[in-house]
């Protein structure tokens, strides 16, 4: 008789699932030359165009320098446009362009596809309970939903 060991860690399973889902979305975005970090910045800016680099970085859990690099690539792509002069400590008003909205839509489509895959494999009642449970877990850990 073999010991099956303790049940799997819920935290570990959520991390593993998140990693797999992120890989799937990144794969869908790769053809456009963007990453989840770009998608996250676009999502935050689409909701609040007056965010500073520092605030965007905090929301994405990256350094301000990394966020500046991310936004520079989005500006080069024409996905965001700056409506104010840049400067240290200054809030850069960045606006999502039509191209940025298109890229954001591709990301949302990739995430919706994951929702469809999940719904195909997991009982609808369980899926309906999953999002509220995960939102509570995120709130407990102090994370912001959506990015």
Q: What are the tens digits of pLDDT across the range 23-69?
A: 999 999 999 999 999 999 999 999 987 787 788 888 888 898 999 99
| Rounded Cα distance, 90 and 88, in Å | 5
Q: Contact at 8 Å (CB) between 60 and 40?
A: yes
| Rounded Cα distance, 95 and 105, in Å | 16
What the block records as the tokens of 91 is: 């809030």
Class (C level, CATH) for 20-140 = mainly alpha
> In the block, which residue shows the tokens 């935290």?
11
Which residues 6+ apart lie within 8 Å of 140 measured at CB? none
| Rounded Cα distance, 51 and 30, in Å | 26
Q: What is the pLDDT of residue 145?
A: 53
Q: Give residue 141's pLDDT band: very low, low, confident or very high (50, 70, 90).
A: confident
Q: What are the tens digits of pLDDT across the range 100-119?
A: 999 999 999 999 999 899 88
Residue 127, CB-side half-sphere exposure with 13 Å CA sphere: 11
């Amino acid at each position: 008789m073999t010991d099956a060991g303790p049940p799997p860690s819920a935290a570990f399973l959520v991390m593993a699932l998140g990693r797999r889902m992120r890989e799937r979305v990144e794969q869908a975005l790769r053809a456009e030359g963007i990453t989840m970090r770009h998608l996250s910045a676009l999502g935050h800016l689409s909701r609040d165009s007056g965010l500073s680099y520092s605030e965007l970085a905090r929301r994405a859990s990256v350094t301000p320098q990394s966020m500046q690099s991310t936004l520079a690539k989005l500006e080069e792509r024409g996905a965001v446009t700056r409506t104010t002069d840049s400067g240290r400590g200054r809030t850069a008003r960045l606006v999502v362009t039509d191209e940025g909205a298109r890229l954001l839509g591709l990301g949302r489509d990739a995430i919706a596809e994951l929702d469809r895959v999940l719904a195909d494999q997991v009982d609808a009642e369980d899926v309906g309970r999953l999002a509220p449970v995960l939102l509570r877990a995120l709130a407990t850990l102090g994370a912001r939903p959506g990015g």
